[in-house]
Amino acid sequence: MGSGGSTMLEKEISDGSAEHYYGLVNVDIQFRLHPQYNQNFQFGNTCYCNSVIQALFFCRPFREKILNYKQNLRKSSTKETLVTCLADLFQNITTQKRKVGTIAPKRFITKLKKENELFDNYMQQDAHEFFNYLLNTISETLLVEKNAERDRTARSGTIKRGNVSVNLASATASLPGENGVGDRNGAAGEANDTRNQANNTWIHDIFQGVLTNETRCLSCETVSSKDEKFLDLSIDVEQNTSISHCLRVFSETETLCGDQKYFCETCSSKQEAQKRMRIKTPPPVLALHLKRFKYVDSLNRHTKLSYRVVFPLELRLFNVSDDAVYGDRMYDLVATVVHCGATPNRGHYITLVKSNSFWLVFDDDIVEKLDVSSMEEFSGMSSDTNIPMPPGNQSTQQKNSESAYILFYQARDYAANDPNHNHKERTRNCTNSS
């Protein structure tokens, strides 16, 4: 621990904050023969995991929940889950004496491979796929524990003082302002919400948003909308554009006509229609996934679109539909997972994070300060030259093909200490009748 580089960083960051900056060692480093160049290569393989963990660590709401989780674990449950491993890792970092250093997340990686055979190999994986898997796993674990707690409480009949109590299904009536989703629904909607909220965890509180798919019949002009929940938003990318442009395209109107006419219930027949996807409820933390990996039929594999897509530090979400709860919402970029390399399988992931007022680059175990002005270098390449270059030039090529892949935007009005967002884990003070 504590290479020369990190001592320098320590000196640079004398901000007096209690923040820790720990690089994550790539636990799977292999030296293998490069199939094309006949030379030995260092293949970094768990960076898909490291990069996402770093990004999430610097998503303050997420970090706090994980640390909270660790603290509130029942003493009796000694079962090791992916969540407990992650919590241990986070806690490890935050309790280090030194500000800067490196940690090898061996326990977490081992658990990950055991839990999901998809990751049980030495190959590079898709960071977005891992992100999805991680969120879903945490959510499922929390749900299982929440239901178990509810059963325990139901059996025992009392709520113990000081414990984290779980809202029983009947008690989770939709209170105003609690959750953007479904506040405006009628009675039937409320019953639905009760069920939905019974299945919600703080993962949903932080990352979940609602999309609405609107279809308008051009004959009777009736609009029918269907809501869809999401934990992250995957959008297509185009060359030499911006995130705002890509979000606009995402919400563009599609016309259903010709052979693709829409069956309208009001007209009882096929009519032309216009369809579009809009964000109805933006999430507190918006995880934006850029669809850079496309399957090409003719090549029979995935290729990477290194398109240059400029991303802003501040994002105002414009495409919020008319009846949305929040209207326009202002977001700040807090972390970015960047993919380096020309192909999906032989690339490398690094993370850019914002901490307090400055930016850092986490490249596995290496942590460096980043000048905000050089953020643009991670937008991608303006011309599509995916020529595999000989080994000596690989670092240059990699540098050129660094493209932002997953962007984490946090809503400016989302206060981490907001008591409302802790509503799912209200501590109840109950007196025991004895």
Partner 1 sequence: MTTSLNPSQTGPKKKISFIIRDVEEPRHRAAVSALQYDAKSGRLFTGGSDTIIRTWSVPQHKDAFSARGGVRSPGKSSGNYLSSLEQHTDWVNDLVLCGNGKILISASNDTTVKIWNVERDNKHRFVDCLRTHKDYVSCLAYAPNVEKAISASFDSNIFVYDINSNFKTVNNFTGKDSIYSLTTTPNMSLVLAGGTDKCIRIFDPRTNEKPIKMRGHTENVRALLINDEGTRVVSAGSDGTIRLWDVGQQLALDTCIAHEEGVWTLQVDASFSNIYSAGKDKMVVRTPCRNFSQSQLLFVEDAPVKKLLLSERENPTSIWVGTWRSDINRWSIRSSNLQLSINGDDDGPSTSAAYYAKPIHDRTRDQIPQQTKAELTIEGAPAIKQHKTLNDKRRVLTKDTAGNVALYDVLTAKKVENYGIREFDEVVTESMQVVFIPSWFTVDCKSGMLQITLDELDAFSAWLSTRDAGFDVDDKETKVGIVNYGGMMLRSLFEKWPPCKVTGMEAVDGDETQRATSHYFPIPEHTPLIVCEGNGRPLLRLLVGDAYKEKEAHELSQVIPPWVTDAIERNSLPKFNKMPFYLLPHPLTNTKQPKKDRLSATEMLQVKKVMEHVYEKVLNNSDGVIPINQIHTRIEMYCNDQKLEPEMDLRTVKHFYWKQSGELLLQYRPIRGA
How far from 82 is each of 24, 85, 113, 142, 172, CA to CA, in Å? 17, 5, 10, 11, 28
Smallest gap from Cβ 316 to partner 1, in A, equals 23
Q: Which of 20, 289, 348, 421 is catalytic?
A: 348
The least distance separating partner 1 from the CB of residue 268, rounded to whole angstroms, comes to 5
> Residue 12 or residue 221: which is nearer to partner 1 going by CB?
221
- Residue closer to partner 1 (CB basis): 143 or 267: 267
Residue 257 bears catalytic tag: no
| 128 a catalytic residue | no
Would you say 117 or 259 has its CB closer to partner 1? 259
- For 336, other C-beta atoms within 10 Å of its C-beta total 24
**Least distance from C-beta 263 to partner 1, angstroms?**
10
Residues numbered 257-286 forming contacts with partner 1, rule: CB under 8 A:
257-259, 267-269, 272
E strands, 164-322, in order: 209-217, 223-230, 233-236, 241-242, 254-256, 262-264, 269-271, 273-281, 285-291, 293-296, 301-304, 309-310, 314-317
Q: Is 18 exposed, middle or buried (0-12, 13-18, 19+ CB in 10 A)?
A: exposed
Distance CA(296)–CA(293), nearest Å, equals 9
Binds partner 1 (CB under 8 A): choice among 72, 77, 185, 255? 255
Residue whose structure tokens are 């409320």: 190
Total number of residues that touch partner 1 (CB under 8 A) = 11
Of the candidates 49, 109, 50, which has an alpha carbon nearest to the alpha carbon of residue 366?
50
Site for partner 1 in 35-64 (CB under 8 A): none
Residue choice 220, 223, 372, 415 for contact with partner 1 (CB under 8 A): 220
For residue 224, state whether it binds partner 1 (rule: CB under 8 A): no
Nearer to partner 1, 18 or 188 (CB): 188
**Min. distance of Cβ 126 from partner 1 in angstroms?**
30
Residue from 12, 80, 221, 228 in contact with partner 1 (CB under 8 A): 221
Number of H helices, E strands in the chain: 10, 22
- Distance (Å, whole) CA 328 – CA 252: 18
Catalytic residue among 20, 47, 204, 264: 47
The alpha-helical segments, DSSP class H, found in 185-229 are 187-198, 202-207
Q: What residues line the site for partner 1 (CB under 8 A)?
A: 218, 220-221, 255, 257-259, 267-269, 272
Active site residues: 47, 348
